[in-house]
Structure 1
Amino acid sequence: MNEQVYYKFMSLEKLERFLDYLAHSYLYGARPKELNDPFEGRFNLKGLPKETKNNIYEKLNRTRICSMFKRRERQDFPDDFLMWSHYANSHKGCCFEFTLTGRYNTKWEIRDIVYAAQMPTPKNDSDASIYDILSHKTPVWNIENEARAIRIYKKGKEGNSHFYHIKLHAVYFGLSAESKNTDILVRIINALNPNISIYQIKRDGEKRDGDYPSLKKECLYPRK
């Protein structure tokens, strides 16, 4: 069975974050309130005792989430046009291609997102309930095909590492990324890890008259 491949789109405006991720082969785990969905971490309160609700909220505040997007079947590269627009600074950013690794990640739980119209209904304040709450989103997000690494920190341990380690395979620069910047970054990536493949997203003009062009990838390293 082929290993599942994941993508992480990001802006290059905060270049220090990109270089940090690249140098350490990890991604940042955010608090639920840092994510862009205003309904993040919501759940059905009906029938829950006050103490259970308070314990759930307290655990959510001690939880970190690393969002990533699963490569779809028969998808060869990150050609999700809207994802580039929403998460990679309107195609000016980049996308990491990676697989998961067990290194340093023993306390993280991997969950695929369930897209459902109804909020999850926890029965108690267990860790399983927290994972369930944070792996549900409304159907409007289903284009993302998201998976998450979730970690619930113990009380007093919230300051431990907030990074999820990955096995990085490739970096893709967006359709509108400036060549003067990508040329420099290609050299930096190659110096840090020569085993990483590097691509530029391009327009594929091979379409019938009147059709919008699709996306294709052009290899920047290793040079063919």
Structure 2
Amino acid sequence: MSVIKPKCLYKFRSINLDHKVGIERFKQIVIENKLYFAAPSEINDPFDCKIPPNFDADEKTLRQFIIDETRNNPDFPGAPDSVIESFADDVIASDGVKKLSKDMLASMRLAQGQILNRNVGVCCFSAVKNDILLWAHYANGHTGICLEFNIQKGIQLFHRAKPVKYYKSYPNVNFFKCYHKNEHWMPKILIAKANCWKYESEWRVFKFDGPGLEIFPECCLTAIIFGCQMQDREKHFLINFVKENKMGIKLIEARMKENKYGLKFMQIT
């Protein structure tokens, strides 16, 4: 079933004029149109991207896997099918399958973190801008900002956006089922998180040439929303900076609702 993408995605950030790195990163986004894609090890959830695949499979699936891998192994060039199939039967008949699965799981767990941190960059967004907890956790207690990105205007980047899936327990990512469907197990673990994170309504964009910066279309950054607790010093800096450098970006201020828990948003003129 296809997932309907929201019109906009939001990225929360702290902003403090005393923190030079944060200000430079903000300028990178607004002036240079660059977003930072973090390594999985930089994400704040220690369980993130660490779900190990399992290797449960029936004998038929295992046998076919052994045959396919042996055929593709450069150590066995031109081996006859009869020899390869006989080898697979011998592995299945012995305890080799158990050892194979155990060894694969151990090596996969060892290599998983290294592979992901070296080859994957992730940029995290939310589908909502009005969640009080998001402002508290990712915008330094409502003193930071929320960047609004229009997906339709940034299709070159956001066509890769995937919604995070939330689980009460580790999802069952079966190596052999993915193999049989000609899928890779890795994308499945990159968008899996514990159910307690569901309030984030998170979407992720990945790059598979390692962590680092990636340029986004200038027109897709459509608004900067100020937190309801932002200090005047930061507010004045942001207003002047955006007006001097990016006139097309709307400036919006979050305010506390008077009679209930919630935020409302007012455009700054």
State TM-score, norm by structure 2.
0.67
Aligned twin of 1:132: 188
Question: Are the counterparts in 1 of residues 223 and 249 from structure 2 also a CA contact under 8 Å?
Answer: yes
2:139 pairs with 1:70:
no
- Greater share of strand residues, 1 or 2? 1
Give 5+ residue unaligned stretches, structure 1.
Answer: 72-77
Give 5+ residue unaligned stretches, structure 2.
Answer: 17-21, 56-100
Of 213, 225, 228, 1:175 maps to 228
Letter matched to residue 179 of structure 1: D
Identical-residue share of aligned pairs (%): 24
Q: What secondary structure, in the 3-state scheme, does the structure 2 residue paired with 1:28 have?
A: strand
Count matched residues. 203
Counterparts of 2:31 and 2:134, CA distance in 1: 24
Distance change >3 Å, CA 3–CA 195, structure 1 → 2: farther
- Greater share of helix residues, 1 or 2? 2
Question: Which structure has the greater CA radius of gyration?
Answer: 2
Aligned twin of 2:135: 84
Aligned twin of 1:37: 45
Q: 1:1-224 alignment to 2 at 5 Å? A: 4-13=7-16, 14-47=22-55, 48=101, 49-50=104-105, 52-53=108-109, 56-61=112-117, 62-71=119-128, 78-100=129-151, 101-103=154-156, 105=157, 109-120=160-171, 121-123=173-175, 128-153=184-209, 158=210, 161-163=212-214, 165=216, 167-205=220-258, 207=259, 212-220=260-268, 223=269
Question: Are the counterparts in 1 of residues 6 and 127 from structure 2 also a CA contact under 8 Å?
Answer: no
Report the Cα offset of residue 127 of structure 1.
Answer: 7.3
Counterparts of 1:129 and 1:23, CA distance in 2: 37
State TM-score, norm by structure 1.
0.80
Higher RCO (C-alpha under 8 Å, 6+ residues apart): 2
